[in-house]
Amino acid sequence: MADVIDILKEYSAIVVKSIEENLGTIEPQGLQDASIYLTKAGGKMLRPALTLIVADAVGGNKEDAVKTAAAIELIHTFSLIHDDIMDDDDMRRGKPSVHKVWDEPTAILAGDTLFSKAFEMIISSKDEGADSSRVANALATVADACVKICEGQASDMSFEGNFDVKEDEYSKMIFKKTGALIAAATKAGAIMGGADQEVIDAMYDYGRLIGQAFQIQDDYLDVVSDEEALGKPIGSDIAKGKMTLMVVKALAESEGEDKDRLLEILKDTESTQDDVDEAIDLFNKYGSIEYAHNLALTNVAEAKEILEILDDSDSKQLLISLADFVLYRSS
Amino acid sequence: MADVIDILKEYSAIVVKSIEENLGTIEPQGLQDASIYLTKAGGKMLRPALTLIVADAVGGNKEDAVKTAAAIELIHTFSLIHDDIMDDDDMRRGKPSVHKVWDEPTAILAGDTLFSKAFEMIISSKDEGADSSRVANALATVADACVKICEGQASDMSFEGNFDVKEDEYSKMIFKKTGALIAAATKAGAIMGGADQEVIDAMYDYGRLIGQAFQIQDDYLDVVSDEEALGKPIGSDIAKGKMTLMVVKALAESEGEDKDRLLEILKDTESTQDDVDEAIDLFNKYGSIEYAHNLALTNVAEAKEILEILDDSDSKQLLISLADFVLYRSS
């Protein structure tokens, strides 16, 4: 895992440089500062790294994909800034969120600016010699993901307090909200790397599968990890009543007293650690933790199988390691 | 003028149809409703009409430009929705603004969705046979305008309560906030119509000039119109302390008591009609109304001169009429 993390850091440096060059012209200075702030807060930069690694793995030129990769990170950051306003989240990446450091109008505008800059950056790849039909395809891929992100966030908000959500509705929402951009990142990498349509579609599926596994694993770690590794109390998602695949599954499988008790704990805004532990026991009783974990395992296995379409290379190996990394990280 | 308005309505119908087709797939329904709401509130649709008319006037195919035109209207609508949140404006186009009908999170998301859909629409022109390099250039034009809109809004917010703003700072802000998208609309029309670079640049300048004239005329009508034609009290901008070219100019030219009194009226949140009339007298005393009006006249004359680069056609005539319409409309 150490290797993967080191390599992600290398890619991250390339992306950060490109972002800083492109955001450095924003004026007035206050808007520039608010726009850049979160990109400097040390995210994993998994999405842009995937774009660059896939571009290389399909036999293309990584350089052609740098601006697209950076743009995808800007789209991700834009959505975090706006989500934090909508969900009134005070903290992000261990720092106060943009609308807390500045104010809501500035945060709305910083998000809009990153969004605009993202499209500007992808288009400007063309001026640096990238093929214009590839650029148009990458743009279409990213724009499609942006629509899905908005739709996913709207569904997520509409689900609030509604614990009758079915597994397929939940999966669709979570794919749009978080998986679509990861799938766009890998697909755009394949497009900018000049892959043929079959490989482009395969890379989309690879991204979609590891994206879903990543999301499930996030939720899974919240209930099975230890507090020290996680950096927050076990089951904090349950205490907050957050909808996860495990919750959806446990509610679908349970009945009577068990279901009532689970709903009670999820709806209670002042759940104790005992309540949370009881909910985790109910998850186990109805097999929902195992179900989610197995789905993540299956996704990762399937994602790695998809990679067989690629010729062997260091970047292909890295994509295999990244699929595993999604599953075996501890936080 | 009646002719121009009738023709704008024809173009508007084409654009509305394209918008409705493209927004009709947004889900959940609540997000779709909030996204479509303002596009149905009967705006002038001047920007998309300009795109279509220019595409025709440069000898191109209007059909190729419809999605780009519609996208520019979506960008305009997105910026209105987000501006209304930032400025806490309750009304827009005679109806409650989006964040009042729904809520702020939904309005943020509706804006983001329109933004995403706008780019998706321009790109999809390619699937309908539009030239892919034209599509990329139109995208670059629109993305550039989006960055400028954000920068202009940020400058506008940073100017609030600051009456020391110089004319060049003010002009730059207002160009970015409102002129840039009108210039992008005419430029994108020329691009999609297949014009050469000289004509594309000329059409940008035409849009920039009538955009500035439009803005000045808006402010000018507020002080010289009669209440009935305007549909609101004379000088309501002054009562609100709004920065306009006339304010910037009058403050630059006046000194001593006059300047102090003008500042007092502008800063007073409870100005009476007598105060407002006094401010208008001061505008007249320092020639700022005439200055603004002359600038608008010069812009329109220059814009019409630029059109000489085009071959004669009905659409060229219409562009000439539109330049005049900007100046001679009464509201």
- DSSP SS3 for A299: helix
Interface residues of B toward A, Cβ cutoff 8 Å, are 26-28, 30-31, 82, 85-87, 104-106, 108-109, 111-113, 115-117, 119-120, 123-124, 126, 132-133, 135-136, 139-140, 143-144, 146-147, 149-151, 153-155, 157-158
| Interchain proximity A143–B136, CB inside 8 Å | no
Distance from CA of A107 to the nearest CA of B (A): 10
Q: Which of B82, B116, B126 is the closest to A150 by Cβ? A: B116
> For residue A198, what are its two tokens?
């079959």
| Interchain proximity B28–A146, CB inside 8 Å | no
Interatomic CA distance for residues A170 and A159, integer angstroms: 9
Distance from CA of B123 to the nearest CA of A (A): 6
The 10s digit of each residue's pLDDT in B233-268 is 788 889 988 999 999 999 999 999 999 999 999 999
With contacts defined as CB-CB under 8 Å, which chain A residues touch B136?
123, 126, 132, 135-136
Q: Is the peptide bond before B105 cis (omega within 30 degrees of 0)?
A: no
Q: Which of A115, A144, A157 is the closest to B105 by Cβ? A: A157
Q: What is the pLDDT of residue B246?
A: 96
| Interchain proximity A113–B85, CB inside 8 Å | no
Q: What is the pLDDT of residue A107?
A: 97
Counting one residue from chain A and one from chain B, the pairs whose CB atoms sit within 8 A come to 138
Mean per-residue pLDDT for A33-62? Answer: 94
Q: Above 90 in pLDDT, residue A40?
A: no
Q: Above 70 in pLDDT, residue A175?
A: yes
Closest by CA position to B180, among listed B213, B141, B217, B135? B141
Q: What is the pLDDT of residue B2?
A: 61
Q: Above 90 in pLDDT, residue A330?
A: no
Interatomic CA distance for residues A123 and A127, integer angstroms: 8
Closest by CA position to A76, among listed A142, A11, A173? A142
The 10s digit of each residue's pLDDT in A110-142 is 999 999 999 999 999 988 888 888 999 999 999
**Rg for chain A, CA atoms, rounded:** 20
User: Between vectors from CA B31 to CA B13 and to CA B178, what angle results, nearest 5°?
Assistant: 55
Is A93 in contact with A38 (CB distance < 8 Å)? yes
Closest by CA position to A272, among listed A233, A303, A229? A233
Distance from CA of B81 to the nearest CA of A (A): 11
Interatomic CA distance for residues B252 and B282, integer angstroms: 12
Please name the helix (run of DSSP H) or strand (run of DSSP E) that holds residue B119, with its range, or none: helix B104-124
| Interchain proximity B139–A144, CB inside 8 Å | no
With contacts defined as CB-CB under 8 Å, which chain B residues touch A143?
116, 119-120, 123
Which of A36-45, A98-107, A245-254, A259-268 has the weakest average pLDDT?
A36-45
Q: Which of B115, B123, B143 is the closest to A120 by Cβ? A: B143
With contacts defined as CB-CB under 8 Å, which chain B residues touch A113?
147, 150-151, 154
Q: Which residue has the tokens 């329904």?
A: B29
With contacts defined as CB-CB under 8 Å, which chain B residues touch A136?
123, 126, 132, 135-136, 139
* Mean pLDDT score across all residues of chain A: 94
Q: What is the pLDDT of residue A160?
A: 86
Q: What is the pLDDT of residue A94?
A: 86
Mean per-residue pLDDT for A277-295? Answer: 96
From first to last of the 331 residues of chain B, give the pLDDT tens digit.
568 888 888 999 999 999 999 999 999 999 999 999 999 887 889 999 999 999 999 999 999 999 999 999 999 999 999 999 998 899 998 899 999 999 999 999 999 999 999 999 999 998 888 888 899 999 999 999 999 999 999 999 999 889 999 999 999 999 999 999 999 999 999 999 999 999 999 999 999 999 999 999 989 998 988 777 767 778 888 998 899 999 999 999 999 999 999 999 999 989 999 999 999 999 999 999 999 999 999 999 999 999 999 999 999 999 999 999 988 876 6
Q: Above 80 in pLDDT, residue A26?
A: yes
| Interchain proximity B28–A151, CB inside 8 Å | yes
Q: For A122, which residue in chain B has the nearest alpha carbon?
A: B140
Q: What is the pLDDT of residue B99?
A: 96
| Interchain proximity A139–B144, CB inside 8 Å | no
Mean per-residue pLDDT for A95-107? Answer: 96
Q: Name, in order, each residue with C-beta under 8 angstroms of B297's C-beta and a sequence gap of 6 or more.
A: B213, B327
Is B292 in contact with B245 (CB distance < 8 Å)? yes
Determine the distance from the C-alpha atom of residue B97 to the mean position of all C-alpha atoms in its chain, rounded to a whole number: 18
Q: Name, in order, each residue with C-beta under 8 angstroms of A136's C-beta and a sequence gap of 6 or more.
A: B123, B126, B132, B135, B136, B139
Mean per-residue pLDDT for A290-298? Answer: 96
